[in-house]
């Protein structure tokens, strides 16, 4: 099970870029545009099965994996920070980082338990006894988070978010002139199809 454990550390697209796309140069509507931007990012994240805004996450598991690794169905992963579990006494134990390794995959990543690791007995309180703590999401559009190209927001997703912000800004009512206003405009969906992760 995946659970977000912090508010977003940063937006993948800044308010300033959204305002530039809308050709808005005053601050009166900042709160309104921020709401549209957050809605657009969330809609695009859901459609693509990606995490767009960077945040802390936790993946939980009920048992040690028979295959030797934990599958992390979340992308892109910035870092895996800890593997923890509850022992038979109910104490939270952090696994030594030398006993596991993280490998990125197209759909997320895997945490491999290395040969020197032996599966400790877990407390008898299902369902989730093991936790992998991680950071997931794309870099901010100012590039301040690092140089990893995998974490740069793809241009197609960036354009789709801005198209959606423009759509929401222009169509402020849910129904316009007898037709429905979809959250994601058709052009945005077309762009996002190239970056969608199928699970």
In a domain, 198, yes or no: no
pLDDT in tens, 130-172: 999 999 999 887 655 566 777 889 999 999 999 999 999 988 7
Q: Are 151 and 78 in contact (CB under 8 A)?
A: yes
Nearest to 40 by CA among 159, 177, 180: 159
In a domain, 143, yes or no: no
Residues 23 and 69 in one domain: no
In a domain, 142, yes or no: no
Count of domains observed in the chain: 2
Domain that residue 84 falls in: 55-136
Residues 128 and 61 in one domain: yes
Burial class (CB in 10 A: 0-12, 13-18, 19+), 64: middle
Residue 9's pLDDT band, with cuts at 50, 70 and 90, is: confident
Quick one: average pLDDT of 20-46? Answer: 95
Give this prediction's pTM: 0.85
């Amino acid at each position: 099970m995946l659970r977000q454990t912090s508010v977003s550390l940063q937006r993948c697209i800044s308010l300033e870029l959204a305002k530039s796309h809308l050709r808005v140069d005053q601050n009166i509507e900042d709160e309104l545009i921020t709401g549209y931007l957050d809605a657009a990012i969330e809609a695009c994240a859901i459609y693509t099965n990606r995490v767009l805004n960077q945040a802390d996450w936790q993946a939980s598991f009920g048992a040690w994996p028979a295959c030797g690794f934990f599958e992390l169905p979340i992308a892109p992963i910035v870092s895996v920070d800890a593997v923890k579990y509850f022992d038979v006494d109910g104490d939270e134990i952090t696994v030594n980082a030398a006993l596991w390794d993280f490998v990125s995959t197209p759909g997320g990543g895997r945490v491999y338990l290395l040969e020197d690791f032996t599966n400790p007995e877990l407390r008898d309180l299902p369902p989730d006894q093991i936790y992998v703590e991680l950071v997931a999401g794309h870099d901010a559009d100012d590039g301040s988070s690092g140089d990893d190209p995998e974490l740069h927001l793809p241009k197609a997703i960036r354009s789709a978010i801005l198209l959606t912000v423009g759509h929401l800004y222009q169509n402020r009512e849910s129904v316009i002139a007898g037709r429905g206003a979809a959250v994601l405009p058709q052009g945005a969906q077309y762009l996002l199809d190239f970056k969608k992760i199928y699970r």
